[in-house]
């Protein structure tokens, strides 16, 4: 049961990062354009799926609460402020998505709320990942860092890096879904964003390795770990090729592969710790009776239902978004 639930948790987090990542990225890029027609085209590319993408965040939090309650308590007490900021930004972003369509004089405010909410949500998630990678001030299983114990140069660097990564995902999505000027602008952004993300990943790895010598030892003990960055480098090469040949579907697939490689590198480097290097997966797990109870409900019913819904929505709304189509 522990193996099943940690695998499901990893899947839900990965799907959230990939799916909500691209529409947060579109929101970040939304703030870089002033053309109303282009903005509406960008919103049309994410309007059928954006709210469903956030379902995976809810499911990940539910699994963490029920199956790994000790980790849930430790992480929530450690990241209270970033999580509140993230949730507030996601709420504001969702409201702005609907309100800016009807607004006239206040549209500028809702546009700022949409792009700013996307940026704050992405930055908060990156800060959380960076703080976990650096290590939290934990003593005897209790967080002792205060309100800003998660704040460091590494966490800020990771916050900026994830914003770049989500923007890269967003550009790849716009290439796959849009036509005309929005598609061409996304193509122009892809090389610069790719270089920024690759530079961030290299810097983050070096900083994490210097902070935690155990990581270098793990790479020596587990040489297969090199397969993840190699896969990411190959995906980056195919991404560049896809941009050169104007193959619309290749960029988003290769960017997703790069994210998968980064996620795998991070997860396997710290395994079996759920909160590096303080709480292992087995220590964080709820009692076997709780895990079994969850399996018959969330495991056999909720998870397949959400997967089916997600696949159906993306299949129904597949293909290009016509430029003149209003997102409502």
- Kindly give the confidence (pLDDT) of every residue in the chain, 328 residues in length, as a single tens digit, with 9 standing for 90 and above: 888 999 999 999 999 999 999 999 999 999 888 888 888 889 989 988 888 888 999 999 999 998 898 999 899 888 999 999 999 999 998 898 888 888 788 888 999 999 999 999 999 999 998 888 877 888 887 888 888 888 888 888 889 999 999 999 999 999 999 888 899 999 999 999 988 888 887 777 677 666 665 566 666 666 777 788 888 889 988 998 888 888 889 999 999 999 998 888 888 878 888 888 788 888 888 888 888 888 887 778 888 899 999 999 999 988 888 766 655 5
Which residues are CB-neighbours of 162 under 8 A, at least 6 positions away? 122, 123, 125, 126, 129
Q: Where are the beta strands (DSSP E) in the chain?
A: 138-139, 142-143, 273-275, 279-280
Report pLDDT for 328. Answer: 55
Report pLDDT for 302. Answer: 86
DSSP character at residue 292: H
**H helices of 178-248, where?**
180-211, 213-221, 227-245
In a domain, 150, yes or no: yes
Burial 97-115 (b: 16+ CB within 10 A, else e): beebeeeeeebeebbebbb
How far is Cα 99 from Cα 114, in angstroms, rounded to an integer?
10
- Considering the entire predicted model, what is its pTM? 0.91
Q: What are the structure tokens assigned to 94, written together?
A: 């969702």
Report pLDDT for 255. Answer: 93
In a domain, 32, yes or no: yes
Report pLDDT for 12. Answer: 93
How many domains is the chain partitioned into structurally?
A: 1
Report pLDDT for 254. Answer: 93
**Domain containing 187: what range?**
2-316
Report pLDDT for 291. Answer: 87
How far is Cα 261 from Cα 234, in angstroms, rounded to an integer?
10
Report pLDDT for 323. Answer: 67
In a domain, 286, yes or no: yes
> 168 exposed, middle or buried (CB, 10 Å; 0-12, 13-18, 19+)?
buried
Report pLDDT for 173. Answer: 94
H or E segment to which residue 36 belongs: helix 36-46
Report pLDDT for 268. Answer: 80
Q: What are the structure tokens assigned to 130, written together?
A: 């960076």
CATH code at position 36: 1.20.1630
In a domain, 327, yes or no: no
Report pLDDT for 295. Answer: 86
Main-chain dihedrals φ then ψ at residue 55, nearest 5 degrees: -60, -35
How far is Cα 222 from Cα 325, in angstroms, rounded to an integer?
51
In a domain, 271, yes or no: yes
How far is Cα 291 from Cα 305, in angstroms, rounded to an integer?
19
Which residues are CB-neighbours of 184 under 8 A, at least 6 positions away? none
* Omega cis (within 30) before 277: yes
Report pLDDT for 81. Answer: 92
- Compute the half-sphere exposure of residue 200: CA atoms within 13 Å on the CB side of its CA: 26
In a domain, 326, yes or no: no
138 DSSP β-pair partners: 143
């Amino acid at each position: 049961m522990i193996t099943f639930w940690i695998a499901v948790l990893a899947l839900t987090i990965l799907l959230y990062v990939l799916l909500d990542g691209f529409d947060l990225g579109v929101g970040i890029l939304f703030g870089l354009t002033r053309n109303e027609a282009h903005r509406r085209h960008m919103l049309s590319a994410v309007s059928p799926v954006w709210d469903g993408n956030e379902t995976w965040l809810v499911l990940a939090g539910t699994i963490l609460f029920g199956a790994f309650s000790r980790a849930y308590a430790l992480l929530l007490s450690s990241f209270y402020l970033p999580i509140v900021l993230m949730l507030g930004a996601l709420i504001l972003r969702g409201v702005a998505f609907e309100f800016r369509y009807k607004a006239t004089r206040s549209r500028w405010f809702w546009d700022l709320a949409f792009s700013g909410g996307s940026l704050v949500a992405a930055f908060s998630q990156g800060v959380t990942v960076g703080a976990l990678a650096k290590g939290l001030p934990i003593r005897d299983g209790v967080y002792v860092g205060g309100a800003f114990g998660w704040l460091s140069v590494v966490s800020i660097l990771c916050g900026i890096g994830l914003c770049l990564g989500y923007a890269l995902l967003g550009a790849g999505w716009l290439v796959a879904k849009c036509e005309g000027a929005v598609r061409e602008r996304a193509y122009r952004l892809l090389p610069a964003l790719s270089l920024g993300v690759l530079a961030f990943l290299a810097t983050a790895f070096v900083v994490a390795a210097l902070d935690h010598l155990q990581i270098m030892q793990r790479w020596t003990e587990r040489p297969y770990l090199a397969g993840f960055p190699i896969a990411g480098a190959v995906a980056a090469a195919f991404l560049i090729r896809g941009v050169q040949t104007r193959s619309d579907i290749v960029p988003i697939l290769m960017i997703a592969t790069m994210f998968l490689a980064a996620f795998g590198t991070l997860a396997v480097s710290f395994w079996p710790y759920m909160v590096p290097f303080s709480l292992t997966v087995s220590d964080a797990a709820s009692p076997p009776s709780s895990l079994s109870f969850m399996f018959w409900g969330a495991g056999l019913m909720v998870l397949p239902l959400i997967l089916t819904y997600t696949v159906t929505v993306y299949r129904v709304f597949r293909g290009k978004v016509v430029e003149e189509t209003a997102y409502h």
